[in-house]
Amino acid sequence: MTNVIIPPDFSDVLAAYERIKNRVVHTPLLRNDVLDERAGRPVFIKAECLQKTGSFKYRGASNRIMHINPHDYPGGVVGFSSGNHAQGIAAAAAEAGVKAAIVMPEDAPGVKTEGVRYWGAEVVGYDRATDDRETIARALAEERNALLIPSYDDPDIIAGQGSVGVEIAEQCKGAGISLETLACGAGGGGLIAGIALAMNELSSKTNIYTVEPDGFDDHRRSFLAGEKVSNAPDAQSICDAIMTREPGTMPFEINKKLVKAGLVVSDNEVKEAMRFAFRYLKIVIEPGGAVSLAAALKGKVPGNGPLCIVATGGNVDPTAFAQILSE
């Protein structure tokens, strides 16, 4: 008999927020006059690039690992990720005294693999073009009697990521801001699903949009189709953190009900957003973390009232970042 995994609801998100609130960085909502002028509206940047390990992924990983009994999994935990989820698991596992192994693409930015090793986790490489990372990770977890932690198709992961939404709602309430719109990058969709669960309860009038790079707009097309749609296998983008094949099953069930629509930006627009963030906001944002800022700068997010965008991560390869800045 197959165990039925129940998707999280708002109570799970709130419980996760309380569970991890003393571990995570309560990241700021940044404002900038030049950004408001360019976007033609008030814009608030939730700077998750300043989160522990450099991205929001630590939130979900921490919530998931705090749920487990280490004695049940003597082999520790196994994850598969291009980098940010990997670092989140590595840090949360180290804090819990649990061994961790992460299946990562061999072409992952060095800053991300170094970040995983810094926390004492093992890196298991694979070829992104020919290997199936999930198959490798499942086999490794079974072989080692370890717990496999997916990056987005997991209720505890989604609930933990949703703490971002709880913080946004609380920060806006404290500042007397009524958000018209929220836009956030989407790969597997776990973050936007968690945020949507939180905002639906705490800021129900806020319209929510996913933002994806051109060629990886599986959420946008899936919303239009009413079912999951996959990206072309040969699609390319600089946004390595959100280059997923299709939306996660559990996140999509949540997002198709709570997310308004999907938006798309080009790699050149992403690079422009990264340069803008460095020059005017004084923060470093990786390509996948800059898609919602790119959408705001180009006026692609519907509406003209207060907008919140999530800068989801800042783990960018230094050489690549320097090249983008110099273009």
Contact (CB, 8 A) for 169 and 182: no
Longest CA pairwise span in the chain (Å) = 57
Residue 146: which of 55, 74, 71, 69 has the closest Cα?
A: 74
pLDDT of residue 2 exceeding 70: no
User: What's at 103, amino acid-wise?
Assistant: V
pLDDT band at 194 (very low <50, low <70, confident <90, very high): very high
pLDDT of residue 1 exceeding 50: no
pLDDT of residue 32 exceeding 80: yes
Mean pLDDT of the chain: 95
Report the C-alpha gap between 157 and 177 in whole angstroms.
Answer: 28
User: What's the pLDDT score for residue 3?
Assistant: 62
Residue 271: which of 320, 307, 218, 318 has the closest Cα?
A: 320
Could you tell me the residue ranges of all domains in the chain?
10-55+157-326, 58-154
pLDDT of residue 305 exceeding 50: yes
- Give the mean pLDDT of 292-307: 98
3.90.1150.30, 3.40.50.1100, 3.90.1720.10, 2.60.120.10: CATH of 10-55+157-326: 3.40.50.1100
The DSSP element (H or E) to which 90 belongs, if any, is: helix 84-96
Helices (H), ranges, 119-189: 133-144, 155-161, 163-175
Q: What is the CATH number of domain 58-154?
A: 3.40.50.1100
The DSSP letter of residue 290 is S
User: What's the pLDDT score for residue 82?
Assistant: 75
Tens-place pLDDT, residues 122-170 = 999 998 888 888 899 999 999 999 999 998 999 999 999 999 999 999 9
Report the C-alpha gap between 42 and 27 in whole angstroms.
Answer: 19
- Give the mean pLDDT of 48-76: 95
- Give the mean pLDDT of 102-126: 90
Query: How many Cβ atoms are within 10 Å of 232's Cβ, its own excluded?
Result: 10
Tens-place pLDDT, residues 258-288 = 999 999 999 999 999 999 999 999 999 999 9
Contact (CB, 8 A) for 46 and 311: yes
Contact (CB, 8 A) for 252 and 230: no
The DSSP letter of residue 181 is E
